[in-house]
């Protein structure tokens, strides 16, 4: 397969995978950059990521947290910024834009944000929303509205329509990596995520967590991780996420349009010591997504997911402030999936669009592959990461930075995963795709930023994002 660099930049919008899913929907495609020009474009993306970091972007509010460092005597103050930026990619071309944010006003845990840019190839995007607006009369219910309108100059979508691969279903485990269609496209979407913190465990008395850090590591008592008992340890959250998304890919012979409108239900028990950078404990998540097919052109479909993350502290050494072994396992299935064969043609009904459902590739799962490279009825995924924070801080000498980078972290990881046309655990664990990766992560002003590379037999990628993948 032709080698390419894939670069992804996205704010993960919180620790919850529901929040991440909404953020991913704004960039639901593969931005493939040819290797001969990839380095320059990567550094333009990296510069944007560093600028956001320097401005003190604070998604700690996204995770319903109030953070104070013992080495900073100033109390939490409202923060805001407006930041212009430039970047270049194959999808957008050379682009200019601006992003802005204000947090800590009206309600301490609320963040309002907006972003807009325009590319040379007639691409543009407008995004806006708010995170964790507390709804009266209860103090346990929060809402996070979000919307986006995007015009892509060049999209790679792993869906049918490529005449070079007749009879092959794109996105399947054995599909050719070049089996995609590409052209300009429109993408619009909106989410209205409701979160309710159950009165169990740490959430009984602390609806919004207040934590104290020492140079970015937890100093106050941990929220969870000492024992597994949702009634006495950790936080349990119920989430309801009504969503809408429509994508239209321009074609010479008939445009390709997909639309989905439904509701995602989720329960998550976070039993870690520190949600933004866990060193011990675990997270369990169950989710059910339903689209009733009310909109013309959409299929009714249902998806369920189960995810388990475990974090094991390996202790400290003379050279390391923290060492953590992190593990994640995820299983997904679309039970409504129906294969119908008429003559030599096979069609799939009652399935989600290619950017929803059981997908692998992109931001957090199978990171060496383009976004939504694999999609089918069911999927399984495993990841193992080693995370180490050195005692020596590279950024201490960079006194010109306007914010403190409290720590930096080396990460190496491996991933395996696979999609299949049926929920067959034996098949899902045969002929699995794999990749290996490494990267550097930082923590500043409540932000975990990450830059890394991942490699597989088929492809490789460079990623610059916010937040741990799990």
For residue 8, the model assigns a pLDDT of 31
Structural domain that includes position 220: 4-466
Q: Please give the structure tokens belonging to residue 102.
A: 């204000």
Pairwise CA distance, residues 470 & 77, whole Å: 29
Q: Please classify residue 359 by burial: count the beta carbons closer than 10 Å to its beta carbon, then call 0-12 exposed, 13-18 middle and 19+ buried.
A: buried
Angstrom distance (rounded) from CA 456 to CA 433: 8
DSSP string, 304-319: EEEEEEEEEE----SS
Which residue has tokens 């790679």? 156
What was the pLDDT predicted at 284?
A: 97
pLDDT at 56: 45
Strand pairing category for 181-197 and 235-249: antiparallel
Whole-angstrom distance, CA of residue 261 vs CA of residue 264: 10
Q: How far is CA 413 from CA 151, 350, 354, 386, 466, in A?
A: 34, 35, 26, 6, 17
The span from the CA of 454 to the CA of 414, in Å, is 9
Whole-structure pTM value: 0.86
Quote the pLDDT of residue 60: 41
Tokens of 181: 């269609």
- Structurally, how many domains does the chain consist of? 1
> CATH number of the domain that 172 lies in?
2.40.160.50
Q: What is the pLDDT of residues 248-304, one digit of tens each?
A: 888 765 567 888 999 999 999 999 999 999 999 999 999 999 999 988 767 899 999
The neighbour count for residue 86, using CB atoms within 10 Å, is 13
Q: What is the pLDDT of residues 101-160, one digit of tens each?
A: 887 777 877 888 898 989 888 889 999 999 889 898 888 999 999 999 999 887 788 988
- pLDDT at residue 46, as a whole number: 54
Residues of the chain with pLDDT under 50: 1-41, 54-62
């Amino acid at each position: 397969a032709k080698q390419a660099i894939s670069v992804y930049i996205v704010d993960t919008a919180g620790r919850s995978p529901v929040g991440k899913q909404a953020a991913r929907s704004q960039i639901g495609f593969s931005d493939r950059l040819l290797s001969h020009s990839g380095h320059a474009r990567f550094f333009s993306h990296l510069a944007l990521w560093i600028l956001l970091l320097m401005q003190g972007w604070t998604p700690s509010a996204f995770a319903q947290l109030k953070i104070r460092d013992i080495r900073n005597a100033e109390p939490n103050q409202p923060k805001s910024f407006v930041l212009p930026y430039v970047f270049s990619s194959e999808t957008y071309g050379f682009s200019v834009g601006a992003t802005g944010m204000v947090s800590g006003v009206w309600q301490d845990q609320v963040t309002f944000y907006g972003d807009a840019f325009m590319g040379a190839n007639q691409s543009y995007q407008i995004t806006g929303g708010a995170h964790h607006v507390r709804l009266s009369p209860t103090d346990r219910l929060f809402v996070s509205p979000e919307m986006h309108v995007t015009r892509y100059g060049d999209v790679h979508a792993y869906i049918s329509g490529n005449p070079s691969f007749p009879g092959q279903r794109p996105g399947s485990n054995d599909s050719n990596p070049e089996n995609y269609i590409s052209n300009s496209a429109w993408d619009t979407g909106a989410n209205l995520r409701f979160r309710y913190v159950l009165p169990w465990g740490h959430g009984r008395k602390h609806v919004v967590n207040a934590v104290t850090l020492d140079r970015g590591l937890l100093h106050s008592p941990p929220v969870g991780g000492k024992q597994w008992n949702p009634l006495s340890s950790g936080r349990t959250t119920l989430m309801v996420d009504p969503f809408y998304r429509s994508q239209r890919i321009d074609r010479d012979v008939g445009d390709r349009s997909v639309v989905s409108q439904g509701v995602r239900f989720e329960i998550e028990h976070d039993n870690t010591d520190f949600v933004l950078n866990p060193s011990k404990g675990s997270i369990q998540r169950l989710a059910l997504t339903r689209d009733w097919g009310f909109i013309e052109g959409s299929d009714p479909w249902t998806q369920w997911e189960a995810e388990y993350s475990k974090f094991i502290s390996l202790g400290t050494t003379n050279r390391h402030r923290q060492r953590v072994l992190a593990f994640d396992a995820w299983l997904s299935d679309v039970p409504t999936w129906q294969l119908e064969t008429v003559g030599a043609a096979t069609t799939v009904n009652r399935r989600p669009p290619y950017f929803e459902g059981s997908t692998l590739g992109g931001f957090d799962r199978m990171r060496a592959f383009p976004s939504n490279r694999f999609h089918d009825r069911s999927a399984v995924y495993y990841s193992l990461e080693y995370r180490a924070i050195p005692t020596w801080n590279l950024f201490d000498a960079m006194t010109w930075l306007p914010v403190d980078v409290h720590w930096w972290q080396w990460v190496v990881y491996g991933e395996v995963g696979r999609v299949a046309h049926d929920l067959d655990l034996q098949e899902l664990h045969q002929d699995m795709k794999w990749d290996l990766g490494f990267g550097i992560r930082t923590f500043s002003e409540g932000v975990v930023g990450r830059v890394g590379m991942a490699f597989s037999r088929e492809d490789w990628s460079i990623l610059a994002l916010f937040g741990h993948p799990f």
